């Protein structure tokens, strides 16, 4: 199985996965409407512009490239926006994915890799979140991703469509080449914002909340490098195909770092003492979110290869010379 349609392949995690698929001998084809993605991120691969909601276009692309599996990255990802505009999230992240799955079914494509999220778990009930942790999202973004996980279970049972759902913790970092990296508009993620403060592109970094029940009062997150995520996609795709079964994995390092710790590391790595301002908590942020990656380690042989310093260093390399 070599011909993979990467939906949302011009985006952040999609483009890193496309690069790794190519390096491992796959033939990825990017399908993207460029509403968020960047054409420059995938200059060297077949590119098909199109929308997830367009069944005829999807069917045409499936046939043209003899597609055997679909990796799906095209989603809206901002928790705060999802609270204000849930309709947008249910349309794009749920209804259009149903459209994609139906088109796959109609065209006999049986393998699907889905970008899910730690946000499907909601408030943690244990220190590290494993795959048996209850899934009770606390915002429309998490709901939208969990709904697709449920649809995938039903599609497997009824139609034999096999899927992998990968619940990412905090995707971060950039490819070592410096040619691709994170570029959201607006940017809401901590690491790019911190590094933009270091680069003088922003006046300061604002820390959202310093009264959380954590050792230093700031939120703790599990940062996982985008290339480690990309590698997990390929390992999981291969296992799903070999065993012809659906799989679920939580992808994080298993280690948590606070916002304050991350800022300290960033100051050391960049050598720049940028301004830090403490603000109110941001709505919808759990105090601590850390993965238990034991299942992915045991079943996929997957262990993250980049630590926090390397994540920040690669993101800094990208930030200084970003192409888009």
Contact indicator for 278, 210 with CB cutoff of 8 Å: yes
Site for ligand UDP in 138-177 (CB under 6 A): 170
Cis before 222 (ω within 30): no
Is residue 193 a contact residue for ligand UDP (CB under 6 A)? yes
DSSP 291: B
Residue from 259, 260, 296, 308 binding ligand UDP (CB under 6 A) = 259
Residue 219 contacts ligand UDP per CB under 6 A = yes
Residue 232 in the binding site for ligand UDP (CB under 6 A): no
Contact between residue 151 and residue 97 where contact means Cβ atoms under 8 Å apart:
yes
Q: Which of 130, 188, 196, 210 binds ligand UDP (CB under 6 A)?
A: 188
**Residue 244 burial (10 A CB sphere; 0-12, 13-18, 19+):** exposed
Check residue 278 for interaction with ligand UDP (CB under 6 A): no
Q: Which residues pair with 291 in a beta bridge?
A: 129
Q: How far is the CB of 287 from ligand UDP (least distance, A)?
A: 8
Contact between 221 and ligand UDP (CB under 6 A)?
Answer: yes
* 282 lines the binding site for ligand UDP (CB under 6 A): yes
- Residues 207, 232, 247, 311: which binds ligand UDP (CB under 6 A)? 207
In this structure, the strands spanning 47-49 and 27-32 are parallel
Residue 23 beta carbon to ligand UDP: minimum distance, rounded to whole angstroms: 27
Residue whose CB is less far from ligand UDP, 28 or 254: 254
Could you tell me which of 235, 198, 221 has the C-alpha nearest to residue 282?
A: 221
Burial class of residue 250, CB neighbours in 10 A (0-12, 13-18, 19+): buried
Positions touching ligand UDP (CB under 6 A) are: 79, 170, 188-190, 193, 206-208, 219, 221, 259, 282, 285
């Amino acid at each position: 199985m070599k011909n993979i349609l990467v939906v949302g392949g011009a985006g952040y995690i999609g483009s890193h996965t496309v690069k790794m698929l190519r390096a491992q001998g796959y033939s990825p084809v990017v399908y993207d409407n460029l509403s968020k993605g960047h054409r420059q991120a995938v200059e060297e691969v077949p590119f098909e512009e199109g929308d997830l909601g367009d069944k005829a276009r999807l069917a045409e692309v499936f046939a043209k490239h003899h597609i055997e599996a679909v990796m799906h990255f095209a989603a809206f990802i901002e928790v705060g926006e999802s609270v204000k505009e849930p309709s947008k999230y249910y349309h794009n992240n749920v209804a259009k994915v149903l459209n994609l799955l139906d088109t796959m079914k109609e065209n006999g494509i049986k393998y699907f890799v889905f970008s899910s999220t730690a946000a499907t778990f909601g408030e943690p009930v244990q220190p590290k979140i494993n795959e048996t942790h209850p899934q009770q999202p606390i915002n429309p973004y998490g709901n939208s991703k969990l709904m697709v996980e449920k649809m995938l279970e039903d599609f497997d049972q009824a139609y034999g469509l096999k899927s992998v759902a990968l619940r990412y913790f905090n995707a971060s970092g950039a490819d070592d080449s410096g040619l691709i990296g994170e570029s959201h508009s607006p940017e809401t993620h901590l690491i790019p914002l911190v590094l933009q403060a270091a680069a003088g592109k922003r006046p300061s970094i604002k820390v959202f909340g310093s009264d959380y029940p954590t050792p230093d009062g700031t939120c703790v997150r599990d940062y996982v490098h985008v290339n480690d995520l990309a590698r997990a996609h390929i390992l999981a795709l291969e296992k799903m195909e070999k065993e012809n079964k659906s799989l679920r994995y939580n992808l994080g390092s298993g280690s948590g770092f606070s916002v304050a710790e991350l800022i300290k590391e960033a100051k050391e790595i960049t050598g720049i003492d940028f301004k830090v301002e403490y603000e109110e908590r941001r709505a919808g942020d759990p105090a601590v979110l850390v993965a238990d990656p034991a299942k992915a380690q045991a079943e996929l042989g997957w262990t993250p290869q980049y630590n926090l310093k390397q994540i920040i260093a690669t993101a800094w390399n990208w930030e200084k010379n970003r192409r888009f």
